[in-house]
Copies of this chain bind each other. A is one copy, B any other.
């Protein structure tokens, strides 16, 4: 007998951004696995087993969920945001490759979700409206000089940059070093967005500029967007500025439109 493993994106945390497909997979599961704070977003149901684990235990968590599904159960493994973006889907694929042949025959479903950069971008306008990249600042899984090379390549070629995993207790200096690196490529006035917990009660979104961007304003739950030379901030009376990157490289058209 073979079960099913659904790797589910919960979105940024607001229930209104949880897709019906994710909701249906959560409902159908006999057991839930996930990092504790993500699992806490799923309402408790007495007939559903819950297996919370720690942040850094992705491999072990994937293995436990795969074993449980391979034993015939319907298992859900939850991720914040989208499971394919710096999250559990890659860990599951990696364990399937390394694990017993029978795991390749499992019914595996990956359920996409709204990843943090899309939610943060939507809050401030459209900073990802032109070519962009997503880069994890964690150097747990890659050397720091590679992070620097990627920052250089992305900023130098005009990509807007979304920074995931900007900081943690064990990685206090990386975000400051990244801003320093980016200041070599980008003007001081380049818009920078700090977005934390979008859609949740403790949402905090700040629009600033590269010269004023303060690494201390970010924590583990913050997603940062650094604009390109084309990215613009539009002042609005009584509202937060709109930040967007025009679709055309030449910048905003100069014509004005009558109301």
Contacts and interface: CB of A to CB of B under 8 A. Distances in A.
B125 A110 contact: yes
Nearest to A143: B249
Interface string A10-36: 010011111111001000000000000
A127 to B, nearest CB: 8
A90 B129 contact: yes
A94 B131 contact: no
Interface string A90-107: 111111111110111100
A257 B100 contact: yes
A146 interface: yes
Given A104-B239, A112-B114, A237-B104, A246 B94 contact: yes
A221 to B, nearest CB: 17
A78 interface: no
Contacts of A99: 256-257, 259
Contacts of A100: 256-259
A89 B234 CA distance: 14
A149 B142 contact: no
Interface stretch (A150-158, A167-175, A200-208, A212-220): A150-158
Interface in A52-68: 58-59, 63, 67
Contact of A247 (B86, B113, B134): B86
Contact of A58 (B104, B112, B135, B247): B247
A46 interface: no
Interface string A216-259: 00000000000000001011111100101111110011111111
B20 A24 contact: no
Nearest to A257: B99
22 contacts: A9-B118, A18-B20, A70-B259, A84-B118, A85-B118, A85-B128, A86-B129, A89-B122, A94-B247, A95-B257, A110-B125, A110-B126, A111-B122, A112-B122, A133-B133, A133-B134, A141-B247, A150-B157, A150-B158, A153-B154, A153-B156, A154-B157
Instruction: State the 3 A-B residue pairs at the shortest beta-carbon distance, nearest first.
Output: A90-B129, A93-B244, A153-B157
